[in-house]
Amino acid sequence: MNFKKSDLSWLLGAPFYILINSLRYQLAAILMVSLTGGTILNKSFLPTFGNGGWLRFSTVRWQGGVDWLILSAPYLADLIFFVCIAAITYNFRIKHRSVLINLIIIGLLFPILNSGYSYICSAFVQTDITRIIDLMPFEEVVHLYFVATLGAYVLIFNAILNNSVTAKEYRDTQKAEKRRMREIKRNVRESKRAMKQQNSEIVE
């Protein structure tokens, strides 16, 4: 799948994309609080900076419920969201480039960035992931989950960029265009040769 310089203009929408990611992050936590019998005490949909200046995509405070499930909910939502969007972008042709780019940014890149960023931050400051590790009897399970999912995210993302229906169609279009250009150039060369031969016959 070929990216153009004009695609960089979508970076101007970064605040909008971060807000969407924050909403997804918080709604997943709120849903899990409700499912596990907890009560929401406070919530903020806007990203904030936490301990050490690290960006937090959203803030939710609750009482009751199953803490480790609530803390894990945003990352499970990342996984579910990524799998659903990956299935769509891999198996279906996306006609409109703007739709494709937004699906890639919102559905593929941000789950990778969200989980990856939070996991890296957990090595330096107290985060949701460090709290999950404290609540789990075996912290290796948490590390295994993030290493495995992040690795899978990268591999699947690469497969979508190179082997999806849209990517294959683009390559086929590019090949057909190159063949057409070669054919035009060949016809031009043959026309020039024919004209030279005709001119030489006239001179004789």
Q: Where are the domains of the chain?
A: 5-163, 165-204
Amino acid at 49: F
Q: Mean of the pLDDT values across residues 29-55? A: 78
- In whole angstroms, give the CA distance from residue 32 to residue 14: 27
Confidence of residue 94 (pLDDT cuts 50, 70, 90): confident
Provide the pLDDT for residue 188: 80
Provide the pLDDT for residue 159: 92
Residue with tokens 């031009």: 188
Question: In the chain, where do the E strands start and end?
Answer: 39-44, 48-49, 55-56, 59-63
pTM of the shown model:
0.78
Q: Is the pLDDT of residue 203 over 60?
A: no
Provide the pLDDT for residue 4: 65
**Which residues are 172's β-sheet partners?**
none
Own/partner pairs for 82-86, CB < 8 Å, 24+ apart? 82/107, 82/108, 82/111, 82/112, 82/153, 82/156, 86/156, 86/157, 86/160
Do residues 187 and 110 make contact, with C-beta atoms less than 8 angstroms apart? no
Dump pLDDT digits (tens) for 98-130.
Answer: 888 899 999 999 999 989 988 998 888 888 899
Q: Is the pLDDT of residue 53 over 70?
A: no
Q: Worst-scoring range by mean pLDDT, 6-20, 62-76, 82-96, 154-168?
A: 6-20
Dump pLDDT digits (tens) for 129-169.
Answer: 999 999 988 889 999 999 999 999 999 999 998 999 888 88
Dump pLDDT digits (tens) for 36-45.
Answer: 999 988 877 6
Dump pLDDT digits (tens) for 178-198.
Answer: 788 888 888 788 777 777 777
* Phi and psi, residue 192, nearest 5°: -65, -40
